């Protein structure tokens, strides 16, 4: 056994004091957001009614490479960060691979995922602006939980619109949010105009993320002292999530480890973008080279099978237009798809990096993902979230390739969270009742055809 411990913990003093903004080093900047009415690039002031001013500025900032992390956010980070970079000795042994496998584990906090990194930042800027509270939507509940924790800590009001089917089928996530003082409303509700309209048009609907976004935005803009916050996709979120990559790089550097391959799961891109940003920065500056792989579900393959074009960010079409790899804003993954990673598009930053060839992408089937999840759980002890298990699948595949070739590659992947609230999906897998679904080319083409022409 080498001198590298099972878990590399940085000290609290080694938590980064600034987030890294990869856009500053990108030659091709991510395309600007467009006003859906005029088709023209948005001015920062146009975002102020929806987002906090400071966050709006971060959303638009393509020039500053580092943005200081406020002291109050750093103090909060110290309650659960630095997160460990774990050497997967037991997984390596079990696979019989010469590869060295590392994972950055973001699940050791009550939200169960990396989402808390941006939730506390967004809640902090809302408080600094003197707001009363924030509104958001949540699907499975990971982001809503993280935001509830952040707002409870700062004493802000928190209103969460939770997709109705999740509200009813995932009561435990809902109760965690309520324990943290959040008001959780099943969406579509009768509390907003858009909610009432949808309930009237589609009686008995169980809701969708797109509808919940529309309700949360309406709630934010119709109440004095409220703004809307979002857990993925946006540039500001990737900025905050850069803390994942910065810590990962610091831990590797501390032990003189040079990563060959960096793997992350990709839904909206918040974890992947955060994990890879300092490494991509090195690539953009010509300082190093890495094999970066985004892993997405075969049932929602925005990078591998989507189109790079302007699209609506939400199904309700109330948000700005963003240029991204997209399956069309009306695309909804098949009902048998478990866990998150069900967003129709991809972060503009990740999309541009992908288009520029700085990363590759793979899609994996659900049953293969859960097979990897179970293998990982049994040898490494951590029950992974379905989302994170997409990255595990490819890390295992790559480690097995190393076994063939005899290469001792350093494989780093992001373990974004734990699966404690996803046991219904595990039960389906344990009972042999989990199935795969891959959309046809025709389905995707029909959905993409509805993207706006700008």
Q: Is 243 in the site for a second copy (CB under 8 A)?
A: no
Footprint of a second copy on residues 108-137 (CB under 8 A)? Answer: 108-110, 112
Q: Is 430 in the site for a second copy (CB under 8 A)?
A: yes
**What is the DSSP secondary-structure string of 242-276?**
HHHHHHHHHHHHHTT---SEEEEE-SSSHHHHHHH
Q: Is the peptide bond before 188 cis (omega within 30 degrees of 0)?
A: yes
**Which CB atom, from 424 or from 454, has the smaller least distance to a second copy?**
424
Helix ranges (H only) for 106-260 are 116-128, 142-154, 164-169, 171-179, 193-201, 209-222, 235-254
Provide the terminal-to-terminal Cα distance of the chain, rounded to the nearest Å.
57
Cβ neighbors of 181 (< 8 A, separation 6 or more) are: 148, 151, 152, 158
Separation between Cα atoms, residue 93 and residue 107, nearest integer Å: 23
Separation between Cα atoms, residue 37 and residue 46, nearest integer Å: 12
Q: Is 9 in the site for a second copy (CB under 8 A)?
A: yes
Q: Is 35 in the site for a second copy (CB under 8 A)?
A: no
**Which CB atom, from 116 or from 399, has the smaller least distance to a second copy?**
116
Among 5, 41, 70, 330, binds a second copy (CB under 8 A): 5
Q: Is the peptide bond before 82 cis (omega within 30 degrees of 0)?
A: yes
Among 65, 90, 165, 250, binds a second copy (CB under 8 A): 90
Footprint of a second copy on residues 403-422 (CB under 8 A)? Answer: 418, 420-421
DSSP state of 320: P
Q: Is 67 in the site for a second copy (CB under 8 A)?
A: no
Q: Is 392 in the site for a second copy (CB under 8 A)?
A: no
Q: Is 73 in the site for a second copy (CB under 8 A)?
A: no
# residues contacting a second copy (CB under 8 A): 46
Q: Is 378 in the site for a second copy (CB under 8 A)?
A: yes
By CB under 8 A, which span of 2-10, 261-269, 317-325, 403-411 interacts with a second copy? 2-10
Helix ranges (H only) for 27-136 are 53-60, 71-80, 89-95, 116-128
**Which CB atom, from 141 or from 188, has the smaller least distance to a second copy?**
141
Binding site for a second copy (CB under 8 A): 5-7, 9, 11-12, 75-76, 78-80, 86, 89-90, 108-110, 112, 149, 152-153, 171-172, 175-176, 178-181, 374, 377-383, 418, 420-421, 423-424, 426-427, 429-430
């Amino acid at each position: 056994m080498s001198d590298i411990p099972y878990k590399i913990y940085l000290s609290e003093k080694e938590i980064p004091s600034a987030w890294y903004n990869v856009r500053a080093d990108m030659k091709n900047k991510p395309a600007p957001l467009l006003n859906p009415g005029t088709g023209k690039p948005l001015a920062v002031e146009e975002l102020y009614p929806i987002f906090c001013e400071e966050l709006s500025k971060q959303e638009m900032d393509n020039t500053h490479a580092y943005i200081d992390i406020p002291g109050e956010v750093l103090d909060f980070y110290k309650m659960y960060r630095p997160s460990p970079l774990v050497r997967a000795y037991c997984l390596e042994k079990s696979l019989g691979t010469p590869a060295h496998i590392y994972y950055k584990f973001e699940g050791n906090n009550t939200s169960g995922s990396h989402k808390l990194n941006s939730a506390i930042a967004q809640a902090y800027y809302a408080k600094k602006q003197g707001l009363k509270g924030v509104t958001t939507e949540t699907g499975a509940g990971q982001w809503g939980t993280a935001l509830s924790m952040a707002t409870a800590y700062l004493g802000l009001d928190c209103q969460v619109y939770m997709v109705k089917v999740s509200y009813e089928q995932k009561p435990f996530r809902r109760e965690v949010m309520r324990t943290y003082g959040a008001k959780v409303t099943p969406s579509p509700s009768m509390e907003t105009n858009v909610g009432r309209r949808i309930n009237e048009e589609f009686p008995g609907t169980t809701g969708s993320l797109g509808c919940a976004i529309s309700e949360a935005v309406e709630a934010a803009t119709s109440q004095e002292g409220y703004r809307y916050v979002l857990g993925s996709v946006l540039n500001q979120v990737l900025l905050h999530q850069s803390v994942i990559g910065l810590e990962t790089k610091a831990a590797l550097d501390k032990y003189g480890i040079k990563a060959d391959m960096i793997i992350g799961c990709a839904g909206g891109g918040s974890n992947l973008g955060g994990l890879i940003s300092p490494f991509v920065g090195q690539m953009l500056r010509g300082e190093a080279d890495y094999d970066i792989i985004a892993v997405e579900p075969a049932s929602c393959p925005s990078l591998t099978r989507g189109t790079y074009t302007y699209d609506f960010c939400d199904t309700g079409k109330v948000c700005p237009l963003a240029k991204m790899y997209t399956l069309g804003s009306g695309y909804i993954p098949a009902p048998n798809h478990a866990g998150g990673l069900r967003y129709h598009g991809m972060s503009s930053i990740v999309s541009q990096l992908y288009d520029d060839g700085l990363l590759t992408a793979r899609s994996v089937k659900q049953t293969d993902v859960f097979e990897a999840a179970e293998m990982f759980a049994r040898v490494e002890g951590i029950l992974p979230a379905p989302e994170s298990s997409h990255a595990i699948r490819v890390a295992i595949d790559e480690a097995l390739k190393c076994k063939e070739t005899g290469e001792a590659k350093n494989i780093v992947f992001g373990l974004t969270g734990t699966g404690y609230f996803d046991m219904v999906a595990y039960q389906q897998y344990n009972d042999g009742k989990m199935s795969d679904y891959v959309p046809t080319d025709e389905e995707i083409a029909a959905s993409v055809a509805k993207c706006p022409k700008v």
